[in-house]
Amino acid sequence: MVLLAGLAMTSPAVAQEAAPKHKPLAEDGLHDPDLPGVHMLQEPGDVLGHLPATTSGNLVDWNKAVRDGYIEPRATLLDRGEVKTLDLDIYLPNTGDAKVVRFPHLEHSEWLDCNNCHPVPFAEEVGATPMSMLEILMGEYCGICHGAVAFPLTECSRCHSVDYDDYLKIRDQQRR
């Protein structure tokens, strides 16, 4: 029975390798293949398959796609617009047994305006917004985007990325 359970638990990874990376819209379980419009739409595989890859979400490294010029998403409705980025890392050290979270403003400000996140849901002062992983998993704070449209919350190490000792060194450097 244990062996059977073990086999069943490894099967999703095997199935994912065998399946095409991006399902055609007519087979995605959401679109109705009997409706004529479905066959006029752009297929995700035709676009996403040509962008830098990751292993989760849309299987696209969206930041690399922008940084390396694969895509040039507009910053305003009508033209390319101006993108004001902020290169400032924020560290969240109260993470229990998990590694310290490094939040990079740089990648976020490529996509978002300051007022998308400030002052709601995040106060601008560091440490002024208490949040827990449970709330994030329930779709609050970081979980408004991560788990819905930005990379999912199964990618623990992409946020929890800094050893506590290294964090202490960074903090001491910043204080100097």
Q: Which residues bind another protein (CB under 8 A)?
A: 1, 4-6, 8-9, 11-13, 16, 22-23, 25, 27-32, 35-38, 40-42, 44, 47-48, 54-60, 62, 71, 73-78, 83, 110-113, 115-116, 144-145, 147-149, 152-156
Nearer to another protein, 85 or 94 (CB): 85
Rounded CA-CA distance 34/134 in Å is: 41
Q: How far is the CB of 6 from another protein (least distance, A)?
A: 8
Structure tokens at 12: 């999703």
- In sequence order, the 6+-apart residues with CB closer than 8 A to the CB of 102 are 89, 90, 91, 159, 161, 162
Nearer to another protein, 42 or 174 (CB): 42
Rounded CA-CA distance 42/47 in Å is: 8
Q: How far is the CB of 163 from another protein (least distance, A)?
A: 20
Q: How far is the CB of 2 from another protein (least distance, A)?
A: 10
Nearer to another protein, 30 or 128 (CB): 30
Q: How far is the CB of 49 from another protein (least distance, A)?
A: 11
Q: How far is the CB of 10 from another protein (least distance, A)?
A: 9
Rounded CA-CA distance 162/175 in Å is: 18
Report whether 38 contacts 18 (CB < 8 A): no
Report whether 108 contacts 117 (CB < 8 A): yes
Residue type, 129: T
Rounded CA-CA distance 84/171 in Å is: 26
Taking the C-alpha atoms of 20, 27, 15 and 139 in order, what is their torsion angle to the nearest 10 degrees?
100
Nearer to another protein, 92 or 147 (CB): 147
Nearer to another protein, 30 or 134 (CB): 30
Structure tokens at 37: 């419009």
